[in-house]
Structure 1
Amino acid sequence: MTFTEEALTTAGPVTGWSGAPDYFAIREYSGFDPHAVVDVLRGRIAGAMFRGMVDPETCGTLAERFWASPHRRTRGVEAPGHFLGAYHYHKTTRTYLQESAEAAEAVDAVLDVPGDPIKRFHQGLADVLAPDGVHVRLAQHDGAQACRGLLRSWHGHGEYALAPHDDRSQCTEPQQADFEIQRVVDHNVVALNICLENGNGGRLAYWNVQPDDASKLRLGLHHTGSPYPLESLDGVEMEWLEVNAGDVYVFNGAHVHAVEPNTDPELRRTTLAAIFGFIDDSTVVSWT
């Protein structure tokens, strides 16, 4: 089934799992606390926000390098987004990993700063999980590694710059049946976003529902998770999360979420992002 206007009007509201109040919250911290990341990975809380984790100078340097990079690419036509790195969405495992290898040098060149934020994040997570015998690494297949970070700036038209979607569905892509990231769906798929620049608006919209397979099939989103019609989310509890440059946040990506556009079209929202999760009791993998 493909997404159509008929599906929009006949599919009905999204159904699925919703968390209790003590779970459904994005807890805020002054600086980085990797123990809170573990709480998200373990499904104890929906998300965590680390305010001002990345200093303004580093944010400025990374954003400037991203926009100046000759390797930056566009995605979309009417409102093209910009990105540097590789994204696995709707691709074969081989294609994604090949693109990851091709982009690795350009991504490393942008992130070559003291206190590389994504390296710092992964090291902090690895340090707190090590006593439990858990190893943190990039996802891999046949000796090839996933991209370690995706720099991006999306500019969608309409009510949201990035339409309501979930990150779990894309991890069931049939073309990636041989990729270890598909084992994350048995645990919690966690999104990582490092905000490098943001204008007015640009908030995260986060709904208290992890859509079930029945909803995804009705909407034709079973392997894509995007876009959920706004009408299908009517009545679902939703929270807004303010995001500023330097903030780093993680959340359970199985929940429907979206990004508000900036109110000033001249201002940009640029992030460094990744996805991660357990694939077994002793391994956390990351990819983009």
Structure 2
Amino acid sequence: MPSQMSQVPAISPVSIRERIGSINTAEIISVLKGELTALHIKQAFSTEVAEKITTNFVGSAGLKERNDGVPGQYVGASHYRKDAASYFADAEKARPHVEALFENLVDPVRAIFGALKRELHNKGIELRLARSEHGRANVCRALSWSGTGTFSLAPHDDVAQVLCAGNDYELSAVAHNTVAAFNFYPSIPEEGGNLRLWSHKPTVIDRKSQGVETTGYPYSAAYLEDVPCRDFQLKAGDIALIDGGFVHGVTGRSGDGKRRLVLNCFFGFARPDLVLWWT
């Protein structure tokens, strides 16, 4: 009975690197190529910059509540469950608010985007923001997940939403390669808010069996019960880069201390000579 078979998640091997310092482009390319599953760089950008970004987020005129079934507040645009016209229109509208998060600061996201762009250019590969006739993507979005209970953000994968994005998106081609999720953390609660990564990379059949074929969200605790997982203990100023094809989520926060704020973007190979970047 194939439907029963697909209920048992296959365990996928993971390769993880954690260290202190600044991120390098070779490591980023390793994740893009699927050689490295997750990279956690501690103290990757300054706490002063982190605090200022957090203050700018809280006071942003562009701060909104998500209304797409995923609880949280955000500044920026999300392609999740949107057609290309809506997403790129949102991205254009949100651009000044995203830029304002980094007012008078050295923007850690754009710094890495620039370094990676130069490195890939040397290899004959173009890196650029995803675009359409309606506009172009922003370099990141800022998110503060607000789910309650075991998870602030329920277990999910990032591939389904790219695979099912639709033909009017150039980024749907990335789903056949590694969809990398890049996370920069300006603020993290004292307890909880960890990034949890399961050793499972769902297939289309797995997603169908779980009823998450087009969204990749959410996977049930029962489905993941026997799958090994790893928690990344995050602090403000950290960066995490993961293969978004693996199931991952954010553990619940305890107490009512600091908010958990993440600057997030996605990127991956659309063609051997083109890497797209979007939110």
TM over 0.5: yes
Aligned position for 1:247: 238
1:248–1:222 CA distance, 2 compared to 1 (3 A): same
Deviation sequence 1:130-154 (CA, Å, 0-9, x none): 2211111100112620122111101
160, 171, 184: which one aligns with 1:194: 184
Which amino acid is 1:189 matched to?
V
106, 128, 131: which one aligns with 1:140: 131
RMSD: 1.9
Query: How many Å separate the matches in 2 of 1:272 and 1:285?
Result: 17
User: Deviation at 1:56?
Assistant: 0.9
**SS at 2:255's partner residue?**
coil
**SS at 2:36's partner residue?**
coil
Gaps of 5+ in 2: none
Which amino acid is 1:15 matched to?
P
Find out whether 1:184 has 2:174 as its counterpart. yes
Contact 1:97–1:147 (8 Å) recurs in 2: no
1:18–1:80 CA distance, 2 compared to 1 (3 A): closer
Q: Which moved more, 1:44-53 or 1:109-118?
A: 109-118
Q: Which moved more, 1:73-82 or 1:231-240?
A: 73-82
Aligned position for 1:98: 89
16, 20, 44: which one aligns with 1:25: 16
Which amino acid is 1:188 matched to?
T
28, 47, 56: which one aligns with 1:65: 56
Contact 1:59–1:246 (8 Å) recurs in 2: yes
Runs of 4+ in 1 over 3 A off after TM superposition: 10-14, 76-80
Contact 2:68–2:81 (8 Å) recurs in 1: no
Find out whether 1:36 has 2:59 as its counterpart. no
User: Deviation at 1:115?
Assistant: 1.9
Paired residue total = 275
Query: How many Å separate the matches in 1 of 2:134 and 2:275?
Result: 17
Aligned position for 2:116: 125
User: Deviation at 1:258?
Assistant: 0.5
Which amino acid is 1:128 matched to?
E
Query: How many Å separate the matches in 1 of 2:108 and 2:51?
Result: 13
Contact 1:17–1:211 (8 Å) recurs in 2: no
Identity in percent: 27
**SS at 1:210's partner residue?**
coil
Matches within 5 A, 1:153-232: 153-173=144-164, 176-199=166-189, 200-232=191-223
Which amino acid is 2:227 matched to?
V
**SS at 2:158's partner residue?**
coil
User: Deviation at 1:101?
Assistant: 0.4
Query: How many Å separate the matches in 2 of 1:214 and 1:160?
Result: 25
Contact 1:13–1:231 (8 Å) recurs in 2: no
Which amino acid is 1:160 matched to?
F
1:239–1:74 CA distance, 2 compared to 1 (3 A): same
TM-score by length of 2: 0.93
Query: How many Å separate the matches in 1 of 2:158 and 2:62?
Result: 26
Contact 2:184–2:238 (8 Å) recurs in 1: yes
Query: How many Å separate the matches in 2 of 1:170 and 1:79?
Result: 13
Find out whether 1:49 has 2:43 as its counterpart. no
User: Deviation at 1:173?
Assistant: 2.3
Query: How many Å separate the matches in 1 of 2:247 and 2:131?
Result: 27
Query: How many Å separate the matches in 1 of 2:197 and 2:87?
Result: 28
Contact 2:20–2:43 (8 Å) recurs in 1: no
Contact 1:100–1:147 (8 Å) recurs in 2: yes
1:157–1:79 CA distance, 2 compared to 1 (3 A): farther
Contact 1:138–1:285 (8 Å) recurs in 2: yes
Query: How many Å separate the matches in 2 of 1:120 and 1:264?
Result: 34
